[in-house]
Every structure is written in C-alpha cells, then in structure tokens.
C-alpha cells in the first residue's frame, strides 16, 4: 500500500496542477529565467510530477538491468508508474535469424518502496535475448500505454539493438585482458589528442589493413600495417606511435540507431544517435548478430591502443537520444526527457529531444554508465557531446565518481547547446539548475575541459562558414583570439574564461564543420579540394604550431597533420565513407607536414609551461602586444621556465603575413638563441642561431627558438633522422618549390615522391639520391629534377623528316602555309602546333620559339559572359575567368548560372570545348538573354517537428557580394510561414531585383538557425527540413523537383 499512496500522489499532483495550466503557462512565460547559452528555466505541471517521482523513488544502486550468474539471472527495472512488466525471452536477437523463436514470458514483481520491478530466473540463461513488455502510466499526462522495449540498462544486444542479451561479461574478455591497464597521462594537459572515427581509420585500402577488418574494431589490432601494404611507411596503430599522439578520442562507439547493422558496409554515420548507451556499436564488429562479438572486439580495440601506449577517450552523447520512441520513454514516459512550457519535448540538442540530467535516475544512469565503460572496457576518459545541455551539478558529481576510480580519468566536452534548452529551476538535489555552458565554467571542476571555440575561430576563421578566414590566412583581427588562447583563455575573459589551462581544449578543427585544410582551400580560393598548395601547407603548419605552443589540452581531427580533406563537406555526419575516410596516401604526399607535427609534439612535451595544468606560468610570459590590443599579422612572445632539466627560455613568433618580417622581441633578457622550428621543420635539432632579439620570420610561418645556454647544456635527442627533398628546375638550378624536410625515428621507413603542387607544365626528368629507405643518423638528400613540358605537336613538327625539329622546319612551315597544296594532308595537319585550330603565322612563331630553347609548355583560354542591357550596350554579367594549363590539354567550359538571365542558344560559341593553345589570345564568348526573376520556395518538415519555419532571404550580385534583402519585413528572423498545403508544404514567393543569386537562412523563429545557404539561382525549389538533425545548422536539403512526386528528384546545385 505504501507504493500505492506514492503512485496516487504523483498522478494527483498532475491532476491538481493541470487545473491551473493556463495560469502556470502565463507565469512561465513571464517569469522564465534565461540562464545562459539559450538555457531557460521553466517549471510546469510536468515538473512537479517528476520531482515527486525523484523524491519518492530515487534509487542509487548499480544493479538495474540483467545480472547474470551460471545459476540464475536477475532482471530489475525501475518504473514506479508501471502497472505490469513482463520479460520476454528469445533465442535470437531478431526474428529474421535462423533458429529464432520466443521461449517464454515472465511477469516481474514490484517493490512498492523503490518502484523497482524484479524477477529471478534460475538456470543457465547465457546468450538468450530478451525484451520487456511494459504497461505504464505517463506521470505527466496520466495516459496508460503498453510497449515492448529493450532494457534501458542493456549490456549486450542483438542486431540493431532492439533486443537485449543476457551476457557473461567475463567470457567476452580477450586474451590478456586481466593484464590490460588504463593508459593515463600525468596531467590532462599532457594529452595530445587525435579525434577519430572507427570506420574512417581503416576504411581505405591504403591503410594496409586486411580487407575483412577495414572499418572495424579489429583494424586497431593489426600491427605492422604499411601504406598500401608496401612494407615501408607505417599506417594505423604504428603510425600513431610514430606521430607522437598519446590519446585517441573515438567518435561514438556505443550502439547507435542510424546505421542498419544488417546492411552493407557502405553505410556511414558519425553515431550521435544513441540507442543503447552501454553496448558497443554492432556495425564495427565482424558479427553484429551475436551480442558477445561486438563486446569482445571492442575490448580488443581498446587493448591494442593501450598496448601502443595510447589513451582511449570515448565520445558520449547523454544529451539526447536518437528518438523519443526509446527504451527510456517506454519505461517511464516523459521522465528522462525535458519538456518545454507547451508540454512537448524540449529540443536544446537540435535533434528533437534533450535528456534530463537533473532528474535523479537519469543522473544516476549517466554516472553509472561512465563508470561501467571505465571499469568493464578500460576506457580512459570521456568527451561529452553538447555538454551545455547537461547540468553543472551532474558534471561535477560525475567528476567525483570517476575520481573514485582514478583522478586521471579525463573529461571534456562541448560547453554549448544546439538550441533553446528548457529545464526546471532546480535539480533533483534541490539546488538551482546551472547548464554546463562556457559562461558557467567557473562553477565546473577545473578538471572538466571545455572546447575552446574562440581560439579555433581565431586560428582558421569562424566555423559556421567555410569561407571565413582566421589568423593563419592573414586576418590581423584574429591575433587577439590567438593571444588569449596562448593561456587557454584562463588569464582573462575573451568570449569565455577558463578557471585553469586544464579546463580548455585547444584546437583548430574537429569532426564538426570544415576540416582545417578544406577551410584553408575554400577561404583562400586556392582551387580544388584535395590538391596540395604550398601556401596552405604553411598555414596548416602554423595552425599546428599555434595549438601546440598554447596552453590547454592539445587536440586535432585525425589527419589534420596530413592535410585531410572531406572535399568541402562541412557536415559529413551521414556522408559516404569515401568522403569521410582517411586517405593514408596523404602521409606520403604531405610527409613534410606530418614530420612538422612530429617535431611540434617533441617540443611541447619537453617544455612544461605549455602543458601546465594551472596558471602558475602566467607571469612567465612576455607578449609583444597585450592580449586585448593585439591586431597584427604577428603574434610573438617569450616564456621563462623554472624546470631545471628543460630549456629555460623559449621564444615563439607566428607570422601570417605573405612576406618575411623582421620581428623584435619585447623581452630582451636573452640574446643568444637556437632555432628549433622554422617554415620547413620542427623538433629538437638546431636549425640555426640568432644573436640579439630580432628574428627574420619567413612568410606564413612560425619560428620557435630556445636560449642557447640551456639548449647546449641539455643536448636533447629526439631519435629522429632527416631527409631533405629538393624539387629543382634543371635548366636554371632554381627550386620550383621550397625544399621539404621529412623526419622519423631512426630505423623506420621513409619514401619520397613528386611534389603534386608543381605545375604540370614541368615534367620529371631524373632523380638523385635515395628516394626511399630507412632514417639514419646521417641526413640524406633527394633531388627531383624537372624540365619543361613539350606538347606533342612540337615534338611531331619534323616537317622535313630529318629526325630533328629545328629552324629548317620553321622555314618549311612558312612555305607550306603559303602553299598548302605543296604537301600531303598528313604533313599539313602538323602545322597547327599551337592548338588554336588554325594554320597560320602564329604556328610559325610558336615553332620558332621552341627551336630557340624557350618553353612552349603553358597557355590559357579566357571565358567571357555577355548580355545586352536596356540601352543596347553589351556588358559582362560576371568577370571573365581564365583556364590555364599545359598546351594541348583539353579544356571544357560551361555557361554562367544566374537568376534573371539564361544562355542565348542562338549564339552558342563554337569553341565551348577544345585544347589550350600556345601564344595566342583565345576566348570563349557566351551571350545571355533576360529571364524570370520570380522565385517560388516550398518548405516542409520530414519528421515530427511542427514549428513554422522562418525564412531570411537576401540576394547576392553576380560577383557574389551580398545585395538586396528579400524578406518582407526586413527584420530578423524574416518571414514566418504559417500556411501549408494538403501535402504539408509551406510556400514562399518573392522576386529578385537583380541578376545574381539568392540566399536562405531557415530558423524556428530565430532559434535552431541554419548556416547561410548561398548561391541559388533556381526559379522554384523544394526545401526539406531534416527533423532528425536540427543541429549544427546544416539540416536542409534543396531539390529542383518535388521529392514527394519524384524520389530521385535532383538536388539543387548552388553556384560556386
């Protein structure tokens, strides 16, 4: 009867408060307190009902779920408002498997005092699968539902996670598991973190991993893998050891719902879609049907990383679940989720729901879950996705709980939300709710790290647009953010303030938004993604230098050090594995960049001020410019060190100018320096010396120097050998690009290759030196020599058939042009040596140039786009573009795409396609006529969300410069659409006022705002809102046909 009284009181509380709903709602609207970071305190009728559940049924035990022994299995379910629970036993994890059948169902008994349902089944139940059928009253609505669900506390599951499994965890331990131990860093700030997705790591064949294990847990267990299996350059685990990273942060590898585990291997998702928090994801295992296999193989992965001396940080997503049709909701409806004042699910995650860490049982769940992964799987730390949705009190209690295992278990997270988060005023402990956002960093433990997005944006430019520039691309204004970031934002408040360096994760890129190298390509308009550009390699080096000479936790996306590309995809969460994979061939093409990062890690680990947990070295820094006033292409500073066995003084100068600069240090106490990092390499070796306080810093580079006295005294040895690779124009002896310096542990393999940034108008003629081999104590030199490319037409211009092309052929060409009938057709065809489709004096001039030994390798084609204005004047719609390349190479042109004009098909140019000529001005001229400026947009949700979309619309001219505003009110957030047709489509009509394109931002009345979607020219578009991913600002898909009518509707392609 005790339980009955409690249960009635909960429902009664709901009913009584329900009678004052109107008043409560108005009060909530009036009195709602904006806490921080779009976090809003709102108390509703539901709040009171759920608080009463916490008060009466709080349970702190760790034995919920299925507990297995050989003699019996005990099932425990916390569901105080349930009226009936049965456990259903199955032979298999799904009905589609051979031998699948239901064994039996058993009714659980309820403990009136705790709200826990329990049954003990005697006998051996190992490897059987189970679900619960739960009849439960929703404590916030009084509605009764009956559902079948997997166990909230599942430790093993079948395929796709819909059935839990009874597991003997001891039997899943790999050989030697009892000897596997945690790998911790002495201090969290000693961490050098490589953020990685399990599938990305080995999916590409270039990884050298066996085909069966590519993209799987077991890929990590393969030792000795090499690039393309060729046996020379290490990949995967061995590569990580060579690189010098000591921590791997793995994107979610708990069981997530967005990949069909029974499907093919071409599926991909980042995994931020939690289904079963305490079970490894099955798609990474060799057999997702057997619940034991994923557990064992996940442990083997972690064991392999530990054997390599690498810490394992698990990316966890306790802020939301994949959907609200979850095991949590079916077990205790609405308890585990936050509700807004309208009684619907709060969506601070941008994923349709957010979990209530302030509720006693969810808080306990999160803590027990983390402890489970630490103890059962030997995980060494956690990264908390959208930590800002979680509350400070939970995070600090979690820190305390993990400290009971070891104080070196690491914790860091994203201290922001993905939208407006609605939560109760108080937590289950009666204290005021504080969200774990940056503005509340002072309330968080200093050993809970926060991603420092301010230094990220300062380094490469704001993450919300791939076109933004930061310090490394030349932004003087970004110097301020770099300066604050030197101290991990712990010295002063710049956008946020850390309590100590240990509370800041210092980084330039991560899985979200654009990869660093992609943003460098896009923001500098350098060319195509995936290509090598020497200036961008320098910028990448500088980004790494800034991170690793700043305080905080050093962090980067896997592959940053090898110029990883996702081909401009800024939200690749469900893009193909081909887009997301690590292309291990990059470690050869960018071996100088990889080597630079190796050296930076050596410098960082040998200089305590950079890795200090606290602010004890704050006063040891002398900056050339104060943090608050920094506005320059140079950031320079010195640091004093009190550690006797380390360098005593270090100078760091970052120069993002496009030319070399003379920089004088403000601190002149040291005047004898040894350079250990420059524009080419970094590490512990002497690269040069400087007397005085003035340094010449090459363009787009970082110089790091240490005092000569301590350098000479310590004589540190990094154990690495070096190879210098030169790329020389043989005719003059000049370098075509700067020499590359590559380095690696003595005895390990290296290989060199051509530099792909060298224009194709040069061709390799010969190579001197050991192009591949083993690093040794003796530095090696390899030189690639290049000559001018010679087009085939010039090689074949031996008109007199004497075996050589010389001035006599030039003379004969003049004769043939004057009298074409004097030769046969085959000889006459050779006359067009310059590829301009004509046979004239220009060919003679070109051939004469060739015979004098001058290059005839490169040419160009100009593409023009014309229209006739209302006054009859012919003008250009957009600036001309130039196609440059090897003479004779094929070129292709396309018309310009713009709203308001279309190609005049009566004037289509004859040379739309052709070959690049030499020595002549060739143009391709397109002409355009006016067309409609009217635009019709159709907008629709693809899921359960119901908010009316607000559209902010504006135009860009033909140069891409923002122009007119097309929003009716002209005020943010724009036009909110309220009317839908019978198929759920909202419609917005507007008219562009000039040629160019139009741009769109969609939001929920200003919240959950998308990125700027720019460059559309279609007169009609269908825009689909992905309700499952209203997070991160990239949740729209644009079609040029109605996708309801055409499942293969074309995707709209914006202009570049």
Active site residues: 385, 414
Residues in the chain: 1056
What is the distance between the alpha carbons of residues 21 and 130, in angstroms, rounded to a whole number?
40
Cβ–Cβ < 8 Å for 707, 670: yes
Strands 881-886 and 858-868: antiparallel
Cβ–Cβ < 8 Å for 1028, 1006: no
What is the distance between the alpha carbons of residues 212 and 219, in angstroms, rounded to a whole number?
9
Instruction: Find all residues with CB under 8 Å of 475, minimum gap 6, and list them.
Output: 461, 469, 656
Q: Between the CA of residue 952 and those of 103, 780, 1005, 1013, what are the distances in Å?
A: 57, 59, 10, 10
| 70 φ/ψ angles, rounded to the nearest 5 degrees | -65, -25
Cβ–Cβ < 8 Å for 427, 400: no
Cβ–Cβ < 8 Å for 142, 333: no
Cβ–Cβ < 8 Å for 1050, 1040: yes
What is the distance between the alpha carbons of residues 59 and 78, in angstroms, rounded to a whole number?
8
Structure tokens at 170: 């001891």
The DSSP secondary-structure symbol of 898 reads B
Nearest to 808 by CA among 794, 819, 818, 797: 797
| 638 φ/ψ angles, rounded to the nearest 5 degrees | -120, 155
Torsion of CA 484, 487, 490, 494, to 10 degrees: 10
Is residue 132 left, alpha or beta, with left meaning phi > 0 and alpha meaning psi from -120 to 50?
beta
Q: DSSP secondary structure string, 856-895? A: --EEEEEEEEEEE-TTS-EEESS--EEEEEETT-EEE--P
Nearest to 569 by CA among 635, 517, 645: 517
Nearest to 342 by CA among 661, 32, 758, 674: 32
CB atoms within 10 A of CB 1051: 10
Q: Between the CA of residue 779 and those of 344, 721, 784, 823, what are the distances in Å?
A: 67, 6, 17, 59
Strands annotated E in 317-359: none
Structure tokens at 32: 């709602």
Nearest to 1032 by CA among 236, 176, 417: 417
CB atoms within 10 A of CB 253: 27
Nearest to 489 by CA among 544, 412, 552, 549: 552
Across 987-1021, b (16+ Cβ under 10 Å) vs e yields ebebebeebbbbbbbbbbeebbbbbbbbbbbbeeb
Segment (H or E) for 1036: strand 1036-1039
Nearest to 237 by CA among 160, 152, 336, 304: 304
| 994 φ/ψ angles, rounded to the nearest 5 degrees | -155, 165
């Amino acid at each position: 009867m005790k339980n009955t009284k409690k249960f009635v009181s909960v429902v009664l509380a709901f009913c009584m408060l329900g009678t004052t709903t109107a008043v409560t709602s108005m009060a909530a609207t009036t009195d709602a307190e904006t806490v921080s970071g779009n976090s809003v305190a709102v108390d509703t009728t539901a709040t009171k009902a759920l608080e009463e559940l916490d008060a009466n049924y709080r349970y702190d035990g760790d034995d919920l779920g299925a507990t297995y022994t050989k003699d019996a299995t005990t099932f425990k379910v916390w569901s105080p408002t349930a009226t009936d629970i049965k456990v259903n036993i199955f032979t298999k994890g799904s009905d589609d498997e051979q031998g699948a059948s239901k064994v039996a169902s058993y009714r659980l008994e309820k403990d009136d005092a705790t709200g826990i349902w329990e049954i003990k089944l005697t006998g051996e139940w190992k490897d059987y699968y189970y679900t619960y059928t739960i009849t439960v009253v929703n404590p916030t609505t009084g509605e009764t539902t009956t559902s079948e669900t997997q166990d909230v506390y599942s430790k093993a599951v079948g395929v796709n996670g819909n059935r839990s499994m009874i597991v003997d965890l001891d039997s899943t331990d790999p050989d030697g598991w009892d000897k596997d131990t945690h790998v911790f860093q002495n201090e969290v700030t000693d961490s050098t973190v490589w953020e990685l997705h399990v599938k990305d790591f080995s999916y590409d064949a270039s990884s050298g991993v066996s085909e069966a294990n590519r993209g799987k847990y077991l890929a990590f267990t393969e030792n000795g893998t090499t690039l393309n299996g060729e046996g020379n350059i290490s990949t995967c685990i061995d590569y990580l050891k060579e690189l010098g990273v000591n921590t791997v942060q793995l994107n979610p590898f708990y069981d997530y719902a967005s990949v069909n585990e029974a499907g093919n291997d071409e599926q991909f998702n980042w995994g931020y879609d939690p289904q079963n928090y305490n079970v490894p994801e099955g798609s990474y295992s060799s057999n997702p049907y057997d619940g034991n296999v994923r557990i064992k193989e996940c442990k083997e992965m972690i064991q392999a990383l530990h054997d390599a001396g690498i810490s394992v940080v698990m990316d966890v997503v306790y802020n939301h679940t994949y959907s609200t049709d979850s095991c949590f909701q079916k077990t205790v409806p609405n308890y585990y989720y936050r509700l807004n004042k309208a009684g619907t699910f709060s969506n601070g995650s941008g994923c349709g729901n957010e979990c209530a860490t302030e509720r006693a049982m969810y808080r306990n769940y999160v803590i027990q879950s983390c402890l489970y992964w630490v103890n059962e799987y030997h995980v060494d730390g956690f990264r908390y996705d959208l930590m800002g949705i979680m509350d400070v009190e939970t995070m600090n209690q979690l820190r305390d709980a993990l400290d009971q295992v070891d104080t070196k278990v690491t914790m860091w997270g994203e201290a922001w939300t993905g939208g407006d988060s609605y939560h109760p005023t108080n937590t289950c402990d009666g204290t005021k709710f504080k969200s774990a956002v940056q503005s509340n960093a002072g309330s968080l433990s200093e050993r809970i790290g926060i991603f420092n997005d301010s230094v990220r944006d300062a380094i490469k430019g704001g993450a919300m647009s791939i076109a933004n520039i930061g310090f490394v691309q030349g932004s003087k204004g970004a110097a301020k953010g770099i300066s604050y970031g030197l101290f991990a934002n712990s010295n002063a408040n710049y956008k946020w303030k850390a309590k100590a360096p240990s509370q800041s994760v210092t980084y330039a890129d991560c899985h979200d938004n654009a990869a660093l190298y992609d943003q460098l390509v896009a923001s500098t308009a350098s060319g195509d993604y995936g290509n090598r550009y020497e200036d961008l390699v320098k910028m990448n080096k500088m980004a790494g230098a800034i991170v690793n000479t700043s305080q905080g936790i050093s962090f980067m996306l896997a592959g940053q050090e090898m110029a990883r590309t996702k081909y401009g995809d800024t939200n690749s969460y469900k893009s193909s594995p081909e887009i997301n994979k690590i292309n291990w061939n990059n470690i050869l093409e960018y071996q100088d960049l990889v080597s630079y990062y190796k050296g930076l890690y050596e410098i960082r680990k040998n200089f305590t001020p950079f890795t200090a947990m606290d602010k004890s070295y704050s006063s040891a820094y002398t900056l050339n410019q104060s943090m608050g006033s920094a506005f320059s292409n140079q950031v320079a500073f010195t640091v004093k060190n009190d550690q006797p066995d380390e360098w005593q003084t270090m100078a760091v100068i970052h120069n993002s100018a496009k030319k070399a600069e003379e920089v004088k240090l403000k601190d002149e106490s040291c005047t004898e320096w040894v350079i250990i990092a420059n524009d080419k390499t970094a590490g512990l070796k002497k690269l040069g010396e400087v007397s005085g306080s003035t340094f010449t810093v090459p363009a787009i580079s970082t110089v790091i120097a240490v005092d000569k006295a301590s350098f000479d005294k310590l004589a540190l040895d990094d154990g690495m050998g070096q190879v210098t690779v030169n790329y020389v124009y043989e005719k003059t002896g000049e370098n075509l690009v700067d020499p590359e310096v590559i380095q690696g542990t003595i005895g390990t393999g290296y290989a060199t290759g051509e530099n792909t940034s060298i224009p194709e108008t040069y061709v390799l003629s010969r190579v001197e030196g050991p192009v591949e081999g083993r690093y040794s104590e003796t530095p090696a030199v390899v030189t690639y020599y290049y000559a001018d490319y010679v087009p085939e037409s010039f090689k074949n211009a031996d008109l007199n058939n004497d075996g050589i092309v010389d001035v006599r052929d030039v003379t004969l060409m003049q004769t043939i042009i004057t009298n074409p009938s004097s030769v046969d057709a085959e000889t006459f065809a050779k006359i067009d040596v310059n590829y301009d489709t004509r046979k004239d004096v220009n060919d003679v001039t070109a051939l004469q140039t060739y015979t004098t030994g001058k290059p005839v390798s490169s040419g160009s084609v100009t593409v023009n786009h014309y229209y006739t204005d209302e006054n009859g004047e012919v003008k250009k719609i957009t600036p001309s573009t130039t196609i440059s390349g090897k003479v004779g190479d094929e070129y292709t042109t396309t018309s310009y795409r713009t709203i308001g004009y279309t190609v005049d098909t009566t004037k289509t140019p004859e040379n739309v396609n052709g070959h690049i000529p030499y020595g002549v001005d060739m143009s391709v001229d397109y002409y355009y006529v006016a067309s409609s400026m009217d635009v019709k947009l159709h907008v629709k949700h693809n899921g359960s969300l119901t908010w009316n979309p607000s559209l902010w619309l504006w135009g860009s001219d033909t140069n891409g410069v923002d122009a007119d505003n097309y929003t009716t009110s002209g005020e943010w957030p724009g036009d909110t659409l309220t009317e839908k047709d019978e198929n759920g489509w909202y419609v917005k009509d507007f008219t562009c006022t000039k040629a160019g394109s139009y741009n769109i931002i969609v939001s929920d009345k200003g919240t959950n705002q998308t990125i700027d979607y720019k460059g559309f020219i279609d007169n009609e578009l269908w825009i689909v809102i992905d309700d499952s991913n209203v997070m991160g600002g990239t949740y729209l898909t644009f079609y040029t046909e109605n996708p309801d009518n055409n499942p293969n509707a074309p995707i709209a392609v914006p202009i570049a």
